[in-house]
Amino acid sequence: MDRSHHPIEPWQLRETELDLDRLEQAESLFSLSNGHIGLRGNLDEGEPFGIPGTYLNSFYESRPLPYAEAGYGYPESGQTLVDVTNGKLIRLLVDDSPFDVRYGDLHSHERVLDFRSGILQREADWTSPGGKRIKVRSRRLVSLTQRAVVAIEYVVEPVDQPTRFVVQSELVANETQPRLSDDPRVAAVLENPLEPVSQHGDREDVVLVHRTRKSEQLMAAGMAHEVEADTRVKTDVDVQENWARSTVICELKPGQSLRVVKYVAYGWSSLRSETAIGDQVAAALAGAQFSGWDGLVQQQREFLDDFWDAADVEVHGHAELQQAVRFALFHVLQAGARAERRAIPSKGLTGAGYDGHTFWDTEGFVLPTLTYTMPDAAADALRWRHSILPLAKERASVLGLRGAAFPWRTIRGQECSGYWPAGTAAFHINADIAEAVTRYYCATSDDKFMTEVGIELLVETARLWMSLGHHDRDGQWHLPGVTGPDEYSAVADDNVFTNLMAARNLRAAARYAAKQPAKARELGVDAEEEAAWRDAAAAVYVPYDAELGVHPQSAGFTRYAEWDFEASRGKYPLMLHAPYFELYRKQVVKQADLMLATYWCGDAFTAEEKARNFDYYERLTVRDSSLSACVQAVAAAEVGHLDLAFDYAYEAALIDLLDLHSNSGDGLHMASLAGAWMAMVAGFGGLRERGGMLSFDPALPDGLSQLAFSVRWRGVRLRVEAHHREVRYAVHDGPDAQITFLHAGEEITVTADAPVTRPLTKRVPLMPRPSQPPGREPMSALGQHPAVESEQGQRSKARANAGAGPTKDAARTSAAQDV
């Protein structure tokens, strides 16, 4: 992205010029969502566009997954997020000229996404080919308080002469989907996925009802309008099977204006009737009109004020990073705020990249952020996991395993990955879910959640590990043939991350089963099973290379041949240039794997081991995954390489603003955006959970003068203000609020009227700053690294290369390709 068109401002993203060559990326950046409904940031009039997009969480179409050679247990169908009925459209005719920025003269065009108001604002100054100069202003929101509602305010006025305006507000189903690229990370293209069911329209409101052809889900979209003008207006309504149009016509003189407020509502279900869904949409429209535009705006601001009070991260000394971190947090909020027992996709609802699927990104990256900033949203996401538990148990049974085998990628709950090594074999998703459960409970003490949801998730995930693992002749417990977070090292034995996380899962299941014996017995857990879990966890095998003094990522990894990184210069991501067979048998790491183990399972490593491991794996990690930079930031900060951590944090936060992976046009990278929070709060703030207590150990890089953030912990908001020499802890709740936690190992209690300050000592690394593979150094937070290619070059390269293997970052887009 050309940052010259996007001024650095602390609380908003502003686009001062419309760049038609980067429409797809801008549409993702300016997306609005509440986790229930998602709107890409398309122009109001619909054209020009990069990728049109209106998404409803978990509303998908099924598609077959044929195989050249089928195998037992292979999934038979995939699921793809549907671009549903578009309610954003407001077309404008100026006399007889359509308002289209590609014609006439566009004098100015500006869009602003405000993180505090949750509103996307647009202003355009345009002269038509016929010589009529006009101004257009619009504001758009997806309500965070009325989850089914979208609202748009659209205002037009002539500048210098009387002008006739025709405003056409539309609902359009089955929009044509462009195929912009052969990049395998984009989504499958569905043609006309919606069948018309019924239509209703009058001057009060319009409702269109459709059904997906194969998954047979029903959806309804409705619209209603309020019209204000300084002169006479004529209105008309026309309704067809796949579109509806409300037309407003008037003639305005300079100084006069036409204001149209459009309310749009959506409803969908695989269970409820057409009548029920239609009535739901009508009710949502009525509720929106009752609140009115001003009421919806006020509700939005109040919701966001409460969120930012507990979630804001203040970055002093680097204005660009400050903007990027708030941009990231805003979109993470949008992804989860009203998901309400539905999945949080890896792209949120900003695009259909990865077919709109949910991966381990949710539990591994998004939920840690939501747990400490908006815990109710984290609980809802875990309740969704619990709702698909029967499908996960069925999948485990098909595989001949006990417990639950959660899908690697899914929308509804069925496994949609047709590639075993980077799909089903990545069993660590079970442990990631279990970790999210224990993290949430530790942060909230939500006993109801644990009884209703948490314990059963822990028990069934633990049972899977006991089916997968075994004790050897020496009594050590192994997990052979699994894929860890690094998808360039698939189907390996004893992946350290997976082994340690499985052990955590087993210990947690045993611990909470013992705490709630009645619930455990209800689930069929007895003392013998609990003991088996504890025994396996205690005997878990953790590979170690004594000669090198490091932990092999998986057994034998450090004895593999080394990858020729010099020969790979300019050939990234490697999955687009090398066969997976070569990647699997060489020392090359797609994304942080062992480093994630040292972060999440930190008590399993000494400080010296962490430093040596970091040094070794930095030289092998190419960051072909968007999940890597934030983890490397946390690991670098812990071992004392604060400036390197600063670079990685910068990269994680700017991933979409700079389109660093050349696929932001297909949707934003929610895990990396959540990882920006992780890099700041867990990296520089040192946030950890130790023995059921919060723990902090802050340290700042030279590029930052201060870092301030808040976390929610058991109903209390703790504010942390870290400087280079000291840190201040304060509670900003009621007078009786207090919290006890650890600071650098020291137990501290902070009350509302007694903040605590502690000195900080400079963190000194145990080893010199390591190098990275040639050409894969992180961007410098203090000046773009020369190894970073121009954005246009990245885009051209991504579109020129096709045919990658089917890992998450190369998710196949058609049934045949998914093999």
By annotation, the residues acting in catalysis are 487
- 434 touches 503 (CB < 8 A): no
Binding residues: 360-361, 590-591
Is the four-CA dihedral 365, 369, 375, 377 of positive or negative sign? negative
Rounded to an integer, what distance in angstroms lies between the CA atom of residue 394 and that of residue 185?
29
CA-to-CA dists, residue 507 to 422, 535, 539, 599, angstroms: 26, 9, 12, 18
Annotated binding site for substrate: 360-361, 590-591
Q: In the structure encoding, which two tokens stand for residue 174, read together?
A: 């089955």
Q: What DSSP line would sit under 547-603, residue for residue?
A: TTTB--SSTTGGGSEEP-TGGGTT--SGGGTS-HHHHHTEE-BSS-SHHHHHHHTGG
Peptide bond into 48 cis (omega under 30): yes
Nearest to 688 by CA among 621, 651, 637, 629: 637
Cα–Cα–Cα angle for 517, 523, 526, nearest 5°? Answer: 55
Q: Provide the greatest CA pair distance for the chain.
A: 91
- CA distance linking residue 38 with residue 29, whole number of Å: 12
Rounded to an integer, what distance in angstroms lies between the CA atom of residue 155 and that of residue 807? 46
Please choose, from the candidates 200, 198, 202, the residue with its C-alpha nearest in 3D space to the C-alpha of residue 210: 198
- Residue reference for tokens 């006399």: 95
- Residue 655's CB is within 10 A of a number of other CB atoms, namely 25
Compute the distance between CA of residue 411 and CA of residue 177 in angstroms, rounded to an integer.
20
Instruction: Quote the CA–CA distance of 314 and 657 in Å, as a whole number.
Output: 19
Residue 60: both structure tokens together: 């998908």
CA dihedral (492, 498, 500, 505) in degrees, to 10, reads -140
Q: Is the dihedral of CA 279, 280, 285, 289 positive or negative?
A: positive
Contacts of 490 (CB under 8 A, 6+ apart): 421, 422, 425, 483, 580, 584
Edge-to-edge strands, sheet with 706-713: 313-316, 706-713, 716-722, 726-731, 756-759
